[in-house]
Structure 1
Amino acid sequence: LLKEQLREKYGIGRQTVDDIIGELQKPSRDPRDTYPKPIMQQGVVSFEDLKEGMKVTGKVKNVVDFGAFVDLGVKETALLHISEMSDSFVADSLGVLKAGDVKEFTIIGLDSDRRRISLSLKSATARRGGQNTVMRGRASGDGGVGAPDGCRAAGSARTGGERRPRPSGSDDGTHYSPFAELLKNRS
């Protein structure tokens, strides 16, 4: 009888009244218990608490062609570029991560002016030694470590794998442009 009076007084359905009564009978239950806990890190509550080289736990919010956006528990969302997702070449970021993944990242860059955070999943040895390996690979004309098959460095495709000598004297920025002569004639 009380349920019917409540339905009529508040203009709600029978199921809604039953749900409300059922929830009121469990006073200590928190409906948020079933949701994943927020990622909180000791001593990290704002952008200013972050430091380059710091290991942080984050949750992937969105995966896009060029990388992933990661929630670190601070106001700003961090970016994990596709080139920093693995020690080896990654062709498709969706093959490595998905929204909701929780991982441990390394902060590799902080831009305090634009409040941007850059992350990496690479191992420490790959971050330290990987760049030298890539540059040696490109200089030899093979496209670099992790480059897709058939890719070559732009300079090596023109000259058959040999590097052009740098011009001596002042560089006006047109020495490596195939349109340099056209641009000079128009000025």
Structure 2
Amino acid sequence: MAGAAGLWEEARALLPGSEEELSLALSGEVDECVPPLLLRARALLYGAAPPCEAALRRLGDVLRDYAWEKLNAGPWRDVSKAWRQVYAYGCLFGALAEVAARRPLAPAVRLCDMGLLMGASVQDNVLARLVRLLQAHLPRAERRGAAPSSAKRARTESPPAPVVRPEDTVPHERCPSLEHFRDRYLIPQKPVVLEGIIDHWPCMKKWR
């Protein structure tokens, strides 16, 4: 499968060229069992090509599970950035394992999303760059925001809007706290429309 092999090479190219260049320095202290796990995962990435995806996946699972407990141990504002970085690395290694195994890409994209949402930036925001790469290789029907071609739109009429039952209406939340969003929507995997969360962006105001 040349395409899958090529995708692995593209994903691998998002990382530094050598094992020594991929610094695993964290922004704080973590449990002493964590750094060896990070080092083992790094060694796998810079060993055989592609790496042993099963071992890389297990390490990603362990890192995410360990960090997840810390992320949920108390108020979000008290969570150490170092543990969020560990969670991001767990998502990164898990996503790369999915790519190396030549599996469907949707689970890898979800891991990147979780790392971006709950983790902290690592390796020059590599998760954001990886998710863009993976989305470009998703089947067209699975791509976010994929719109039908103009020819297809011309051939089809817009269907009538479905009748939505009140209990099926997607709720709207304005600037919820991370804890509230995590507990009410992220963990139960429920949809929600978030409002007001980017009102502070400069681009939301008219240029003067």
Instruction: Please tell me the TM-score bracket, short chain as reference.
Output: under 0.3
TM-score normalized by the length of structure 2: 0.23
TM-score normalized by the length of structure 1: 0.25
Larger RCO (CA within 8 A; separation ≥ 6): 2
Structure index of larger Rg: 1
Structure whose residues are more often strand by fraction: 1
Structure whose residues are more often helix by fraction: 2
